[in-house]
A and B are shown apart, each in its own frame.
Chain A
Amino acid sequence: MRVVVDLNRCQGYAQCCYAAPAHFELRGHEILFYDPAPPEAARGRIERAQQACPVRAISVEGIDLAEEDAP
């Protein structure tokens, strides 16, 4: 699945890291490192991370869209 975080918007609150620790990680004081291509099996946790983000910085491709328009 495909994920992108708007890092202008991200405030390093780390809620995503609690929801999906294998795919979102805070480094140093406030650098967010995340997996832009987590396995489909992690979708539940990734979507919880998305919901948990207080500034709605996380975008996730819907399961219905995966490959929908793929060239």
Chain B
Amino acid sequence: MSGRAGIVIVGASLAGLRGAEALRRGGYEGPLTLVGDEPYRPYDRPPLSKHVLAGELAADATALPQLLPLRARWRLGSPATGLDRNAKIVRLADGSSLAYDTLLVATGARARRWPGEAEFAGIFTIRGRDEAADLRAALARDPRSVLIVGGGLIGCEAASCCRDLGLPVTLVDPNPTPLARALGTLVGGTLAARMRAAGVDLRPGTQVRALEGEAGQVCRARLADGGSIAADLVIVALGAVRDTGWLSEGGLAADAGGLTCDGACRALTRMGVPDPNIFAAGDVARWPNPLYGGRLIAVEHWGNAVEQAAHAARNMLNPADPQPYAHLPAFWSSQFGLNIKMVGLADGADSVAIVQGSRAAGRFLAVYGREGRTIAAVSFDEARWLPAYAERIAAGAAFPPIHDATDQPAIETRPPGFPPPRPFPASRGRVPEAAHA
């Protein structure tokens, strides 16, 4: 770690910033450079699809606090465009090159766009603060009707903001309920009821085939079943693609699903060998998680970016003693007045049990099991129970959970109702992922 080029971090957002801090905290004294595509210092994204859209916070108000002196060089507004692993050089869009001794890849992801989106005005995605500012401005111009394509976390949060603003909003998703892939349809059904009560025109089991416009402005969505929905503002919330394009020539195992790492956050080459000088953290990284039997997992949530960046930094500073990164995925979301918090990955669960509260009351804790083990838990406004279940999930405790008190009724388990996996090209296999998008 004593080379003169020092450490270069590509991606100046949550994982990049927290990684840089962890390097300094860990005693790294050498040169440190952060390269960022966006012209802004690191900022927080979760408020963008919540308070920024609702007009409560300005899009530029969420800069992240820096927690210790970094003594870093910032190269903002000039994305990395290429990687030469032999020469140990990162190429930037402005034509310059940066030498590195050790590289941290923290380029995250960008919103998946609607094909041909640029054809019409009025089609938006939410990932960065510029996108959020544009969408906020459009919502403030009182659109006649908003259409949200995609019932994942960001689509649902955006729907909630639109209702808070009093805007008519329709949400379409091919699955039977919103958040069906993250939570299953049993729990997702509770959210569906909540959304409808808030006035969202929810259209599950519906697919948009095309967006159509008039005079350059989007005006309707054509559905797969032949129907149509009128909308002069469309929010495309179809998840994210990892920002790995700049790595394509580098010989690393990278694609739109992420950069594959070994268990110690070191990037793998296409031959499956770790490059000892390249690490990855945050949304861009997928790695074999020991908590899930070493399955390759990519996690697109805030908590992982923070934790994985610190872990990668630790391994960067201790190359002789690489430690595996074990992480229990977790996220929060707020929408329709509800605080939703989850730990673990529920996909693949074969049953679910409501262990606190009730779905009817709208406040509950649901625990997911697979083959007799507890694998995940989600809370709707019952967050205080979650930490106890996080411990049980990490320990692989028995499912269904057993009440301590003998006078409690036995816990009833139900099928969680996960939609069948999306068809993936067989050669790539199915990579489980936890996505905030």
Residues of A within 8 A of B (CB): 1-4, 6-8, 11-12, 27-31, 33, 35-37, 59-62, 64-65, 68-71
Contact = CB atoms under 8 A, between A and B. Distances in A.
B66 A68 contact: yes
Contacts of B330: 8
20 contacts: A3-B65, A7-B302, A7-B332, A8-B302, A8-B330, A8-B341, A11-B383, A12-B384, A28-B338, A30-B339, A30-B381, A33-B51, A33-B56, A35-B61, A36-B61, A36-B62, A59-B67, A64-B69, A65-B68, A68-B70
B72 to A, nearest CB: 6
Contacts, number: 82
Contacts of A60: 65
A60 B64 CA distance: 9
Interface string B60-103: 01111111111110101000000000000000000000000000
A62 B47 CA distance: 22
Contacts of A37: 61-63
Nearest to B390: A8
Nearest to B337: A28
A35 B44 CA distance: 12
Interface string B230-252: 00000000000000000000000
Contacts of B339: 12, 28-31
A28 B334 CA distance: 10
A61 to B, nearest CB: 4
A30 B334 CA distance: 10
Contacts of B303: 6, 8
A8 B363 CA distance: 18
Contacts of A33: 51, 56
A37 B339 CA distance: 22
Give the residue among B51, B62, B383 with the most A Cβ atoms within 10 A.
B383
B65 A4 contact: yes
A51 to B, nearest CB: 16
Contact of A31 (B66, B334, B363): B334
A11 B388 CA distance: 13
A4 B64 CA distance: 6
Contact of B65 (A2, A28, A35): A2
A27 B51 CA distance: 13
Given A28-B381, A71-B76, 15 more contacts: A1-B65, A2-B64, A8-B303, A8-B341, A27-B337, A29-B339, A29-B381, A30-B383, A59-B65, A61-B65, A61-B66, A61-B67, A65-B68, A69-B74, A71-B41
B199 interface: no
A71 B66 contact: no
Contact of A69 (B46, B66, B331, B387): B66
A61 B62 CA distance: 13
A11 B331 contact: no
A3 B341 CA distance: 21
A42 to B, nearest CB: 14
B63 A65 contact: no
Contacts of B332: 7-8
Interface in B331-349: 331-332, 334, 337-339, 341
A59 B18 CA distance: 12
B402 interface: no
Interface in B247-290: none
Contacts of A28: 337-339, 381
